[in-house]
Copies of this chain bind each other. A is one copy, B any other.
Amino acid sequence: MTYCVGMKLDRGLVFMSDTRTNAGVDNVSKFRKLFTWTTPGERSLVLMTAGNLATTQAVVSILEERTKAPSERRPSILELPTMFQIARLVGDTLRDVIQSNAATGQKADSSFNSTMILGGQIKGIEPRLFLIYPEGNFIEASSDTPFFQIGETKYGRPILVRAYHPSMSVEEAVKLLMVSFDSTVKANLSVGLPLDLQFIEKDALCLGASKRIEADDPYFGQISSGWGDALKKAFDSLPPFKF
Contact = CB atoms under 8 A, between A and B. Distances in A.
- Interface SS of chain A: helix
A95 B211 CA distance: 51
A93 B79 CA distance: 63
B171 A242 contact: yes
A72 B136 CA distance: 59
A140 B170 CA distance: 45
A43 B1 CA distance: 44
Interface stretch (A17-25, A27-35, A158-166): A158-166
A241 B223 CA distance: 9
Given A154-B154, A154-B155, A187-B158, A219 B241 contact: yes
A186 interface: yes
Contact of A238 (B154, B162, B222): B222
Interface residues of A, number: 40
Interface string A177-210: 0110001001100000000000000000000010
A162 B232 contact: yes
A104 interface: no
A181 to B, nearest CB: 12
**Integer count of this chain's copies in the complex:** 2
A102 interface: no
Nearest to A182: B158
Nearest to A183: B158
A235 B179 contact: yes
Contacts of A237: 226, 230, 233
A209 B243 contact: yes
A239 interface: yes
A235 B176 contact: yes
A223 B242 CA distance: 13
A215 B170 CA distance: 38
A170 B242 CA distance: 9
Given A163-B235, A175-B240, A226-B238, 19 more contacts: A154-B155, A155-B155, A155-B158, A158-B186, A158-B231, A161-B186, A162-B228, A171-B241, A171-B243, A175-B235, A179-B235, A179-B238, A211-B243, A222-B239, A223-B239, A230-B237, A231-B231, A233-B234, A234-B234
